[in-house]
A and B are shown apart, each in its own frame.
Chain A
Amino acid sequence: MEAAPPGFDYNPSAWFRRVRFSLLAATAMLIAAWMSLYQFELIGGVWDPVFGEGSEKVLTSETARQMDRWLRVPDAALGAWGYMSEAVLALVGGTRRWQHRPWMVILFGIDVILLGGAGVLLVIMQGFVVGAWCTPCLITAAISLILVYMAYDEVWACMKYLWRVWKRTRSGAKVWRVFCGYPLDVAEEAALPRGAG
């Protein structure tokens, strides 16, 4: 069950890789949750070693207030929710989930990419719309990009596996079955390391 997918010399779904990913996502979640406490007005300030009052300017900026009006909850709380989703989805499934639960791995990949994009977008908005910088925000945005880098190999292994199932079957229905986590002999063959079977 610990075997590497074809084309890999390690298992991208191994526990230590996913726990490591999850811990980093949880760190970003805690930072975002702490910033949301400031936006909830439960704490009086946010520590910023580089930009002084920059964090507070960003978190109470007109842009942040506008987002609060749209979302009904502080944007940092939504960020914490995003990082929590990454930390949780990383841990769902066994060490062969790229084969047995492709839907979860692909969903996880979409989640990670969207949050990486959201991180970049928020940094751009800080610079060009708000005109102030916030160290903890930049740290969490950097983490969201590192998370994309850390997650891509598992998603890639899963996509290559689905592609091999497609090449062997030429049947969208069968690929869909495998994607949803149902077994097929061709799928088991497509998951074997090259040279075996």
Chain B
Amino acid sequence: MWGRVVEIMLGLWLLLSPFIFEHWQRGETGLWVSDFASGGAIIVFAALSFWQPARFAHVLNLAVAFWLIAWGYFSGGYPSAPGYQNEILVGLVLIFFAIIPTNATQPPKAWRDYYLARAREGIGPKG
């Protein structure tokens, strides 16, 4: 749950980034497109993960993360403008949020089903 919430916040940050880092003053069209597309994709994948059949959709945010890092790194050059560094850092942070399971604090669904089935057979959780 909280992994998805942070992802949505990161997505919103990317949607705001063109205004915060003032891309228009630098004529950075690529950054506009990349920020909006990545931010939108992150929010869509995070929100989709709450729908049971698509519960692993958040893993797709790993692809967005690698896009952000690679695009920010290779098109930013050196010295890198703030907007590119922003993409690199958001991408890096996204990596470890994207791998967090949606109901992370509960056991995985497979283990929950396993314990439920045992309880139904009257075995109960041992130990």
Chains A and B bind each other: yes
B127 nearest CB neighbor, chain A only: A192
Q: Please tell me if A182 contacts chain B, counting CB pairs below 8 Å.
A: yes
Q: A72-B85, A191-B127 are in contact. Are A181 and B96 (CB under 8 A)?
A: no
CB distance from A29 to the nearest CB of B (A): 11
* Interface residues of A, dominant DSSP: loop
B107 in contact with A69 (CB, 8 Å): no
* Interface residues of B, dominant DSSP: helix
Contact partner of B80 (CB less than 8 A), chosen from A1, A72, A92, is A72
Contact partner of A193 (CB less than 8 A), chosen from B93, B100, B127, is B127
Interface size on B, residues (CB 8 A): 30
Q: A181-B110, A196-B127 are in contact. Are A89 and B96 (CB under 8 A)?
A: yes
Q: Measuring CB to CB, which residues of chain B are less than 8 angstroms from any residue of chain A?
A: 3, 72-73, 76, 78, 80, 84-85, 88-89, 92-93, 95-97, 99-101, 104-108, 110-111, 113-114, 125-127
Q: Measuring CB to CB, which residues of chain A are less than 8 angstroms from any residue of chain B?
A: 1, 3, 69, 72-73, 77-78, 81, 84-85, 88-89, 92-94, 96, 100-101, 107, 181-183, 188, 191-193, 196-197
**CB pairs A–B below 8 angstroms (27 shown):** A3-B127, A69-B78, A72-B72, A72-B73, A72-B78, A72-B88, A77-B89, A85-B95, A88-B96, A92-B101, A92-B104, A94-B104, A94-B106, A94-B107, A96-B107, A100-B107, A100-B111, A107-B99, A181-B110, A182-B110, A182-B111, A183-B110, A183-B111, A188-B126, A192-B126, A192-B127, A197-B127
